[in-house]
Amino acid sequence: MATIEEALEIERLERDIFRGASTKTQLPRTFGGQVAGQALVSAVRTVEERYQVHSLHGYFLRPGNPDQPTVYLVERIRDGRSFCTRRVTGVQDGQAIFTMSASFHIGDEGPEHQDEMPPVQAPDELPDASTSMSPERLWAMREWEHWDIRTVPQDQVTRRDGVVSQQQVWFRYRHPLPDDPLFHVCTLAYMSDMTLLGSSKVTHPGEQTQNASLDHTMWFLRPFRADDWLLYDQASPSAGFGRALTGGKIFNREGQLVAAVVQEGLIRNLRD
């Protein structure tokens, strides 16, 4: 399947109009992480190099057709001394399928603190999903064959009092990536949509549901590399009315909190 470089490839059509590549996939609709990643790459192409992405807020409006490219329209909302903001709309067949606001910051100095990374099994102690996944789920490993994904067994997840549904996943890109920090940010935006909604299913094993991302928010807190191990510490504080709220903290292997994610997704019973 597509490499991350291919999945995030965009072509500039006009000053603030871009076209994202369509890539080979087994999915019936465009992977949400690819749309978010391409939208962020488009926004990055319209800001000065001194700015770094610090947050994004996206809404998945319609299913994308994976056989068609997506056109991204970028609006330059604000260019300030320290911050700038872009709004991006992904379009297919004249209809918006995704919209995102992205904020950029040059970086300042101030107080520092972070939560500790929870105790967790090292990724080297866990099996690669490509060799341990059940036969009915092997298609997912073919789809994301360039990613090394290792889920912590539920009986070994670090439990927190009052948190009803938890999941911990180690992941990294299998191949060396370019050194450009913004490429790693866009790569993480792509991957952050993977596995997160699954944290809402932990307490409902075996239930057949229709699932889809509805909205997605990320904050990028510290530098990282997406080709090094990252721990995705996930939880779902609430599910109901056909929707589930999920969130995750992403740590590097040294225990630095590098990103935080909140997502609401569709999780409704399958209809006859």
Which residues are annotated as catalytic? Answer: 193, 213, 263
Residues in a beta bridge with 248 = 234, 261
CB burial class (10 A; 0-12, 13-18, 19+) of residue 170? buried
Residues in contact with 127: Cβ distance below 8 Å, sequence separation at least 6, in sequence order: 150
Supply the DSSP string of 159-185, one letter for each residue: --TT---EEEEEEEESS---S-HHHHH
Q: Residue 104 and residue 89: Cα distance in Å, rounded?
A: 17
Q: Residue 272 and residue 270: Cα distance in Å, rounded?
A: 7
Amino acid in position 111: P
What is the number of H-type helices and E-type strands within the chain?
5, 12
